[in-house]
Amino acid sequence: MEAEYDLNALPLFLALARAGSFTGAAEQLGCNKSKVSLSIKRLEQRLGVALVTRTTRQVHLTEAGERLLAGLTPLLAELEGLLDQVETDQQTLQGELRITAPEDFAAQVVAPAVVAFSERHPQLEIELRTGDSVADMVKEGIDLAIRLGWLKDSSLRATRLGEFEQFLVASPAFMANHGPVSHPRNLAALPWVTFTPLPSPLTWTFSRADERCTVRMQGALKANTTAVTKQLLLQQAGLSVLADSIAADELERGALQRVLPDWELPGGGIYAVYPPGRHTPAKVRAFVEFLRERL
């Protein structure tokens, strides 16, 4: 009689695929490396095909492993959803919640929300990571990504949480050295700090009443995070655009100042972005609603 499949090996395989190593998978699962290795080996023997290729420190999925991962991910997501739906939102939230957000927004907005949310749900372990790009959420084990701006990828599952304004800012010393700016067209001749994740980081449209002015900036310095962009501005490197919440502290203490405050820039959205799949766990739903209320 043919042996049955050990379905307990499937979550181990998924963890291995995400971590890229037996050590990483074991750390994610809280077990020893030999258990993961033995389970994968037995699964391969049962299937009659290699699922991974092993090197000293890493493993890579074979073609068969890639096919299994592609089919397994949505099935396990549905199973987790079914189990989660059995619970009510009034029950204790527990387990791990991994959140990623842009560095400055994480520090100024998300981190205080995480602390307050953790006090309400002490059995929930929360990890807050920072970054300005939407990562491979499944591979990195991210439950929720908070993103600012405009989502170009229509395949992303996202909820709009709020809006933010954008301010043209520079340091007072920079503006003192480069003279007053009376109109957006004057900006084309000034140094610009380019925030590279934006789709068109050097082209900006300003509006005032019925007047609109689109300007192409000249940027010698570039940064891929809002935190670095802000530090370059504080070092008198040029002008740039920051979200209101990210520039708030520096504007309040005078380290940065708004330039052309009577002209408006397009606003942006604050989004909760979810991993692929139809189900959103209760812990994620609860935090999203909590953050929405604070925003």
What residue ranges define each of the domains in the chain, with the CATH number in brackets? 9-86 (1.10.10.10), 95-164+270-294 (3.40.190.10), 166-266 (3.40.190.290)
* 45 CB-near residues (< 8 Å, 6+ apart): none
Concatenated DSSP letters of 254-275? TSSEESSTTSB---EEEEEEE-
Strand boundaries in 122-246, DSSP class E: 124-130, 144-149, 157-164, 166-170, 191-195, 203-208, 211-216, 218-223, 240-243
CA distances from 103 to 31, 35, 39, 167, 270 (A): 32, 37, 38, 18, 14
pLDDT tens digit sequence for 159-209: 889 899 999 999 999 999 997 899 999 999 999 999 988 888 999 999 999
Residue 85 has pLDDT above 80, yes or no: no
Helix, coil or strand: residue 183 = coil
pLDDT band, residue 229 (cuts 50/70/90): very high
pLDDT, mean over the chain:
87
pLDDT at res. 230: 95
Average pLDDT over residues 63-86: 79
pLDDT tens digit sequence for 25-71: 888 777 888 888 898 998 888 888 999 998 767 888 999 989 998 88
**DSSP summary character for residue 49:** S
CA angle 267, 103, 128 (to 5 degrees): 115
Residue 153 has pLDDT above 80, yes or no: no
pLDDT tens digit sequence for 96-136: 999 999 888 898 899 999 999 999 999 999 999 987 665 67
Cα atoms found within 13 Å of the Cα of residue 176, Cβ hemisphere only? 5
pLDDT band, residue 157 (cuts 50/70/90): confident
Neighbours of 175 (CB within 10 A): 18
Structure tokens of 153?
A: 């990828």
pLDDT band, residue 1 (cuts 50/70/90): very low
Report whether 53 contacts 60 (CB < 8 A): yes
pLDDT tens digit sequence for 242-256: 999 889 999 999 999
pLDDT at res. 292: 92
Which among 179, 261, 170, 263 is positioned nearest to 213, based on CA atoms?
A: 263
CA distances from 153 to 134, 141, 189, 248 (A): 10, 20, 33, 29
pLDDT band, residue 140 (cuts 50/70/90): confident
Which among 102, 96, 89 is positioned nearest to 118, based on CA atoms?
A: 96
CA distances from 288 to 97, 109, 223, 276, 284 (A): 12, 13, 29, 17, 6
Average pLDDT over residues 229-241: 96
